[in-house]
């Protein structure tokens, strides 16, 4: 139980890890990684069955997709770290968090997400993008003086599922 408690403290640090994209854009009181993961988890809860996906697996994947950031931080393209190096740092972090606890199933689930090996992994990856654009929309309304327009085309190009494109387009229409 001591090891579980230590891990829970480490994971709790995600509440203090601000999402770096918002920090770089100078958003006041930006969301944390924990905030972001929570909303993706709720999105998975609400949508997975409508997409004929394993709801429990999607929720679990949403909960752990960014959990390595408790150790490595929120690495963005502005950090000049290659995608491979980022993956290696995160994989090492995940293994250090779960291996000694015998939670190899969670390591495998995280790898499945990172390697996009299943429909659930692809779905959570796209929800990750939708959540980011949903947050962008909310910040644009709350802080109209900020220029967050670069998030829209980047996100739009990464969403492939027609139903998620529909959500994106609804947010885009609302923006205009």
Model pLDDT for residues 95-146, shown as the tens digit of each residue = 999 988 999 999 999 999 999 999 999 999 999 999 999 999 999 999 999 9
| Each residue's pLDDT expressed in tens, for the chain with a length of 176 residues | 899 999 999 999 999 999 999 999 999 999 999 999 999 999 999 999 999 999 999 999 999 999 999 999 999 888 989 989 999 999 999 999 998 899 999 999 999 999 999 999 999 999 999 999 999 999 999 999 999 999 999 899 999 999 999 999 999 999 87
Identify the pLDDT of residue 93: 96
- Residue 167, classed as helix, strand or coil, is helix
Identify the pLDDT of residue 154: 86
- The residues spanned by each domain of the chain are 2-175
Identify the pLDDT of residue 77: 83
The end-to-end CA distance of the chain, in Å, is: 52
**Residue 76 CB neighbours (<10 A):** 14
Identify the pLDDT of residue 27: 97
**Residue 56 CB neighbours (<10 A):** 12
Identify the pLDDT of residue 100: 85
For the record, the structure tokens of 142 come out as 């709350």
Q: What topology is assigned to 2-175 in CATH?
A: Hypothetical protein af1432 (1.10.3210)
List phi, psi (to 5°) of 16: -105, -5
- Cα distance between residue 142 and residue 67, in whole Å: 28
Identify the pLDDT of residue 34: 97
**Local structure of residue 49 (DSSP, 8 states):** G
CB burial of residue 125 (10 Å; 0-12, 13-18, 19+)? middle
Identify the pLDDT of residue 17: 95
CB burial of residue 11 (10 Å; 0-12, 13-18, 19+)? middle
Between helix 104-114 and helix 55-64 the angle, nearest 10°, is 90
160 to each of 52, 55, 94, 107, 174, how far by Cα in Å? 16, 20, 28, 26, 20
**Local structure of residue 69 (DSSP, 8 states):** H
Identify the pLDDT of residue 117: 97
- Cα distance between residue 40 and residue 98, in whole Å: 22
pTM here is 0.94
- Cα distance between residue 118 and residue 3, in whole Å: 31
Identify the pLDDT of residue 88: 95
């Amino acid at each position: 139980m001591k090891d579980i408690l230590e891990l829970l403290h480490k994971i709790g640090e995600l509440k203090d890890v601000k999402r770096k994209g918002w920090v770089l854009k100078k958003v006041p009181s930006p969301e944390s990684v924990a905030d972001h993961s929570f909303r993706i988890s709720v999105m998975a809860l609400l949508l997975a069955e409508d997409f004929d996906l394993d709801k429990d697996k999607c929720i679990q994947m949403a909960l752990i997709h960014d959990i390595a950031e408790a150790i490595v931080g929120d690495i963005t393209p502005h950090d000049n770290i290659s995608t491979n190096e980022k993956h290696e740092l995160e994989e090492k972090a995940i293994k250090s968090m779960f291996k000694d606890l015998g939670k190899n199933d969670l390591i495998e689930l995280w790898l499945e997400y990172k390697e996009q090996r299943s429909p659930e992994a692809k779905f959570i990856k796209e929800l990750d993008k939708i959540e980011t654009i949903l947050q962008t929309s909310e910040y644009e309304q709350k802080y109209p003086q900020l220029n967050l327009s670069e998030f829209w085309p980047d996100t739009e190009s990464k969403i492939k599922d027609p139903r998620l494109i529909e959500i994106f387009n609804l947010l885009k229409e609302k923006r205009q």
